């Protein structure tokens, strides 16, 4: 009852009864994780139901449940229980149940109304795990539709209250200030990038230095993972300053007994070396000194392998503050940071939410299974990037987990398939769910699990080894095969047989640490397969079956060699890449790559490298992906030969597999391409003369002047149609160069319509003096005739056409054929202007007739 969280107990109860939604901020050590759930039970806010408390980590889930059960003096698994993957310690009497996020989301899929649950508590929400965001959104929808009685509490030590309050509105907001002791922060003297020692040696030396100064309290050291924890404990064990202290690891993969030992009080001072599981929720009493490596394994999308993975990265400033706070729980403490103050300022203020840094394929599949077809309208707390959502949907369609229903209109959202629902039963990335399901069909689950384990960590083989190591590797592991996985599998088995000894692994160029990490991953995948009812018995390796399974799991990374002389490849979805030089499948024209990574060089250019490749037989694509195989004819114009070239390609999705020349090219497509060249002016039809253009102007002018004649003009589109028709049946320029044009153009009109043009927009006019000058038509002015003055004698009236609606302009020329007057009023010219013109011209041309 002395815990700070009890200061807001009455307010919490009041706000929950008023709103059913509360945002609670309370610092580490305030007691929120262990005390809030019993508060709900004690005040009758659960009714006859239970409260589910979401925790971001399995270790905290179990330890918190154990702590609450002890405080309530009840057996664990009865009134208080927990559920994590592969472990369910709860029963029908359970009122307070701690679970990991994925457990609750899957429960919501199986029981959308959460029958029997009256409250949900989202603990440590500041970590912004992807599944906590999604689960909160689903809980809000449920509360607003079928379960208005459902109570929601979102709490953490550090929360963006403004963002959450707006998202949960209407809701109550509470803050417990807590009581913590001051923590002195000490930074390293030199930048971490200038310290070549392994991080575990740096931590051990930092502890020794403090111990020599007389520090005797418990110590908590933060390391990124189990391997670094092991090396740190090993380094500490050799220090005289650590004698008499209990050295304990703490991470999620430890047996429960060892986890309990790390958080329990010991008779002697202890040193606990932990991952970031000790940042929040888990309380280790008595810690006076925190040594922080500043590193953590942070979930992030790995574009090389197209999966989510754990990458060792620098923690944010907010996470560093959380770690430092562990030293001030019950008395003043000290935090030693193994980086400088300047480096600290350059760190991110806080972690990006997982929705912005993880591959979304698994969560998209989960949402689709819950009936959320339109992801754009989902209730995102923070909306992910549209491209990330589109990529996730594309991958899931490639894996067969999503599909658009047949005969659906364009734009219909994809929906989950039966295969997708089965994949969802595996709590792994959909790519590996697909791998295990395929392996079950082909009877090779064990080897598929080995492949899945091998792809989770870094490359098993050391790079840049000497020739002797290469020869030893080839002698022990074999050289060429149909898949890089087969050599990697032999390498891992060799390392396991030699107990992952460093000298044995280095002899054949194997990274011993990476090989050691494969074993627990393999056990995890085999446990998943077994729990899903798959046959995990180890059988003789059937390479073809395994290759088919790899193809099904990585079909979005199928590649086709562009030529035999290089390692350049084309991939599905319009990408290009280069097969890794060390790959064993360099002789295969068709392959699938499990890793696609971008590598930059000193020039700044980026090359896409394909590795962990497996050879693929073309027939397998027809067998396994019949709906994704199609034939496509591509037609193009060759500017060099001035011919249309056609090629037929066998396509897997958008990747061409085989290509052959098609002769003659398709007539319609060829005509279109040749017409394009003619219209662009790059090809000339010799018979398309000035007379043809004049006829088109006569038609278009008359259609404009006399719309009642209902003549169809020839615009750009009609001109293209005529030229295309002229080019029909041709394959090259020489076929169309001399083709007759006049008949094709005139054929645009019927004989009657042609006669109307000859009558009302004639090629020549007959003047009153018997002369028949040619009429020139223009697109931007009136038609005109051009005659010398002498040829116009006795012509008094301006000629008209188009049923008398259009006057023809007369260009009056001197004997030299130069214009002296342009008029549409001949009578006025003869009366007003001719005397002056005659006087001027008669002097220049005295031999010509002048009237």
Q: What is the pLDDT of residue 297?
A: 87
Mean pLDDT along residues 415-424:
94
Are the CB atoms for 58 and 84 separated by under 8 Å? Answer: yes
Residue 661's H or E segment, with its range, is: strand 655-662
Using CA atoms, how far residue 290 sits from 196, 205, 279, in Å, is 22, 13, 11
Range in 44-48, 162-166, 174-178, 727-731 with the lowest mean pLDDT:
174-178
Q: Look at 1 and 304; give whichever has higher pLDDT.
A: 1
Dihedral Cα 282, 285, 286, 289, nearest 10 deg: 10
Q: Of 66, 69, 111, 68, which Cα lies nearest the Cα of 84?
A: 66
54-70 pLDDT tens trace? 998 888 999 999 999 99
Across the range 358-379, mean pLDDT stands at 89
Tell me the average pLDDT across 434-458.
Answer: 93
Say what the pLDDT of residue 4 is.
Answer: 87
- Backbone Cα Rg of the chain: 41
Average pLDDT over residues 565-577: 91
pLDDT tens-digit profile of 474-518? 888 876 679 999 999 999 999 999 999 999 999 999 998 889 989
Per residue in 619-661, pLDDT (tens digit) is: 999 999 999 999 999 999 999 999 999 999 999 999 999 999 9
Rounded to whole angstroms, the Cα distance separating 395 from 554 reads 9
Among 433-447, 548-562, 574-588, the range scoring the smallest mean pLDDT is 574-588
pLDDT at 331: 84
- Express each pLDDT in 781-821 by its tens digit: 899 999 999 999 999 999 999 999 999 999 999 999 999 99
C-beta atoms surrounding 849 within 10 Å: 9
pLDDT band at 687 (very low <50, low <70, confident <90, very high): very high
Place of tokens 């754009």: 376
Element (H, E) at 51: strand 50-55
Cis peptide before 664 (omega within 30 of 0): yes
Question: Rounded CA gap, 589 and 587, in Å?
Answer: 7
Say whether 178 sits in a helix, a strand or coil: coil
**pLDDT band, very low/low/confident/very high, at 602 (cuts 50, 70, 90):** low
Give the whole-number percent of the chain exceeding pLDDT 90.
69
pLDDT of residue 330: 78
pLDDT for residue 308:
63
What's the length of the chain?
851
The pLDDT value recorded for residue 29 is 76
- Decide if pLDDT at 2 tops 80: no
pLDDT value, residue 358: 83
pLDDT of 304 > 70? The answer is no
For the chain, give the mean pLDDT: 91
Indicate whether 307 pLDDT > 60. Answer: no
Distance of alpha carbon 183 from alpha carbon 329, whole angstroms:
9
Whether the CB-CB separation of 551 and 620 falls below 8 Å is answered with yes
Beta bridge mates, 819:
813
Contact 311, 297 (CB under 8 A): yes
- As to burial, measured by CB atoms within 10 angstroms (0-12 exposed, 13-18 middle, 19+ buried), residue 631 is exposed
pLDDT band of residue 841 (cuts 50, 70, 90) is very high
Q: What angle do CA 807, 811, 813 make, to 5 degrees?
A: 155
């Amino acid at each position: 009852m002395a815990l700070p969280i009890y200061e807001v107990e009455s307010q919490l109860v009041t706000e929950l009864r008023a709103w059913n939604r509360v945002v609670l901020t309370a610092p580490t050590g305030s007691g929120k994780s262990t005390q809030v759930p019993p508060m709900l039970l004690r005040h009758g806010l659960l009714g006859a139901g239970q409260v589910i408390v979401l925790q971001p980590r399995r270790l905290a889930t179990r330890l918190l449940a154990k702590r609450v059960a002890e405080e309530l003096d009840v057996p664990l698994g009865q009134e208080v229980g927990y559920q994590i993957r592969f472990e369910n310690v709860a029963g029908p009497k359970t009122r307070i149940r701690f679970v990991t996020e994925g457990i609750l989301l899957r429960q919501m899929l199986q029981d959308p109304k959460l029958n029997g649950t009256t409250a949900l508590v989202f603990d440590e929400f500041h970590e912004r795990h992807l599944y906590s965001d999604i689960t909160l959104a689903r809980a809000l929808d449920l509360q607003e539709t079928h379960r208005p009685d459902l109570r929601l509490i979102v709490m953490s030590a550090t929360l963006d209250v403004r963002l959450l309050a707006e998202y949960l509105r209407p809701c109550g907001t509470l803050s417990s200030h807590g009581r913590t002791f001051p923590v002195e922060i000490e930074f390293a003297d030199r930048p971490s990038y200038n310290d070549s020692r392994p991080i575990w040696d740096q931590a051990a030396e930092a502890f020794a230095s403090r111990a020599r100064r007389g520090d005797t309290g418990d110590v908590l050291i933060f390391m990124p993972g189990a391997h670094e924890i092991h090396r740190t404990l090993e380094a500490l064990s050799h220090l005289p300053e650590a004698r008499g202290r209990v050295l304990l690891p703490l991470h999620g993969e430890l047996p429960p007994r060892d986890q309990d030992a790390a958080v329990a009080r010991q008779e002697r001072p202890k040193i606990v070396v932990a991952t970031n599981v000790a940042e929040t929720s888990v309380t280790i009493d008595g810690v006076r000194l925190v040594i922080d490596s500043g590193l953590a394994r942070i979930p992030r999308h790995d574009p090389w392998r197209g999966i989510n993975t754990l990458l060792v990265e620098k923690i944010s400033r907010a996470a560093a503050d959380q770690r430092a706070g562990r030293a001030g729980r019950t008395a003043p403490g000290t935090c030693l940071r193994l980086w400088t103050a300047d480096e600290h300022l350059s760190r991110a203020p806080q972690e990006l939410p997982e929705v912005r840094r993880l591959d979304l394929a698994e969560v998209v599949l989960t949402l689709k299974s819950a009936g959320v077809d339109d992801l754009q309208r989902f209730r995102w707390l923070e909306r992910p990037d549209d491209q990330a959502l589109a990529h996730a949907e594309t991958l899931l369609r490639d894996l067969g987990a999503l599909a658009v229903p047949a005969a659906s209109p364009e734009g219909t959202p994809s929906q989950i398939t039966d295969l997708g629902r089965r994949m969802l039963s595996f709590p792994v990335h959909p790519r590996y769910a697909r791998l295990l399901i395929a392996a079950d069909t082909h009877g090779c689950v064990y080897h598929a699990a080995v492949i899945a384990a091998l792809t989770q960590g870094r490359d098993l083989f050391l790079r840049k080894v000497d020739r002797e190591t290469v020869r030893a590797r080839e002698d022990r592991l074999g050289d060429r095969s149909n898949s890089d996985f087969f050599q990697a599998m032999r390498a891992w088995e060799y390392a396991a047989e030699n107990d992952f000894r460093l000298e044995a692994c280095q002899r054949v160029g194997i990274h011993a640490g990476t090989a050691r990490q494969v074993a627990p991953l393999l056990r995890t995948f085999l446990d998943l397969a077994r729990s899903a009812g798959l046959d995990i018995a180890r059988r003789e390796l059937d390479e073809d079956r395994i290759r088919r399974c790899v193809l099904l799991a990585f079909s979005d990374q199928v590649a086709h060699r562009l030529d035999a002389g290089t390692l350049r490849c084309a991939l599905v979805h319009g990408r290009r890449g280069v097969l890794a030089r060390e790959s064993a499948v360099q002789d295969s024209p068709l392959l699938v790559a499990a890793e696609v990574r971008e590598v930059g060089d000193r020039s700044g250019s980026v090359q896409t490298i394909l590795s962990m490749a497996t050879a693929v037989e073309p027939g397998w694509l027809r067998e396994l992906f019949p709906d994704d195989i199609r034939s496509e004819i591509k037609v193009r114009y060759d500017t060099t030969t001035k011919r249309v070239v056609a090629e037929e390609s066998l396509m897997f999705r958008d990747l061409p597999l085989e290509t052959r020349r098609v002769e003659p090219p398709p007539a319609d497509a060829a005509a279109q391409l040749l017409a394009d060249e003619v219209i662009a002016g790059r090809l000339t039809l010799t018979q398309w003369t000035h007379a043809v253009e004049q006829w088109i102007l006569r038609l278009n002018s008359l259609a404009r002047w006399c719309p009642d004649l209902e003549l169809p003009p020839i615009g750009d589109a009609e001109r293209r149609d005529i030229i295309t028709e002229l080019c029909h049946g041709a394959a090259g320029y020489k076929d169309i160069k001399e083709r007759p044009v006049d008949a094709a153009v005139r054929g645009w009109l019927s004989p009657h319509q042609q006669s109307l043009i000859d009558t009302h927009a004639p090629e020549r006019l007959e003047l009153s003096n018997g002369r028949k000058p040619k009429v020139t038509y223009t697109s931007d002015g009136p038609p005109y005739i051009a005659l010398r003055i002498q040829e116009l004698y006795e012509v008094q009236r301006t000629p008209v056409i188009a049923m008398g609606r259009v006057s023809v302009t007369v260009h009056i020329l001197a004997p030299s054929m130069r214009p002296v007057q342009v008029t549409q009023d001949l009578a006025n010219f003869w009366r007003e202007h001719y005397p002056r013109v005659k006087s001027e011209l008669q002097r220049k041309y005295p031999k010509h007739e002048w009237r």
